[in-house]
Amino acid sequence: MKQLHRISGIVIIIFVGLHLSNHAVSVMGGSAHLAVMNALRTVYRNPVVESILLFAVLVQIISGLKILRVKTPGATWFEKLQSLSGIYLAMFFLFHIGAVFAGRFILDLDTNFYFGVAGLNTFPFNLFFGPYYGLAILAFFGHLASIHNKKMKRNLLGLKPKIQSVAILVLGFVAIVVIFYGLTNQFQGVIIPREYEVLIGN
């Protein structure tokens, strides 16, 4: 079960890393985000690759919940962070993937930059989507930091494994600031195309 969790986790890390990098490109504007997204889609929108990604998420959630059951009392701070971040990521993946497929197959929308930022740039929806996306990014980096703390046994660049893990967490906070800066058009708001206004009740 742990081996399945590890393998599916690697697949997801690669995809999420590219996905978050795509979001970070939005600091150069929505058009830049869309250009990178369209290039990446030639790979992950391939039916075979998309099926592998969805299967990896399913395996990750099931195996993660199975591993979570055997956690023993007296866990370290990073072990608790691994469990809590894993629970949040499992819920986020279920809701997020469900929303994307609903957008594609029910609302017949291109689930692109504007699909993702409609709620984030509209009050009062941003009161939900801000923490929703922010915690997802933090949970991703928190999960990575926890695993790194467990697996890393040597210093790197003169830093102890625990400090390296803290640095990964700090990187997560930086990623949140950069990505939100881009997805809200440098905090001034994004103009939502008319076809996406259905997402915010218009």
Query: Above 80 in pLDDT, residue 113?
Result: yes
Closest to 179 measured CA to CA, from 120, 122, 96 = 120
Q: In the prediction, which pLDDT does 187 show?
A: 66
The pLDDT tens digits of the residues spanning 2-47 come to 888 889 999 999 999 999 999 999 999 999 999 999 999 999 999 9
In this structure, the number of other CB atoms found within 10 A of the CB of residue 182 comes to 23
Q: How far is CA 146 from CA 101, 117, 130, in A?
A: 31, 29, 24
Percentage of the chain beyond pLDDT 70 is 97
Domain count, the chain: 1
Query: Above 70 in pLDDT, residue 69?
Result: no
Separation CA 91–CA 82 (nearest Å): 14
In this structure, the number of other CB atoms found within 10 A of the CB of residue 167 comes to 15
Query: Above 80 in pLDDT, residue 148?
Result: yes
Q: Which domain holds residue 116?
A: 2-200
In this structure, the number of other CB atoms found within 10 A of the CB of residue 59 comes to 18
Closest to 111 measured CA to CA, from 41, 163, 181 = 41
Number of Cα atoms under 13 Å in the Cβ half of residue 184: 19
Q: What is residue 198's DSSP assignment?
A: G
Query: Above 90 in pLDDT, residue 172?
Result: yes
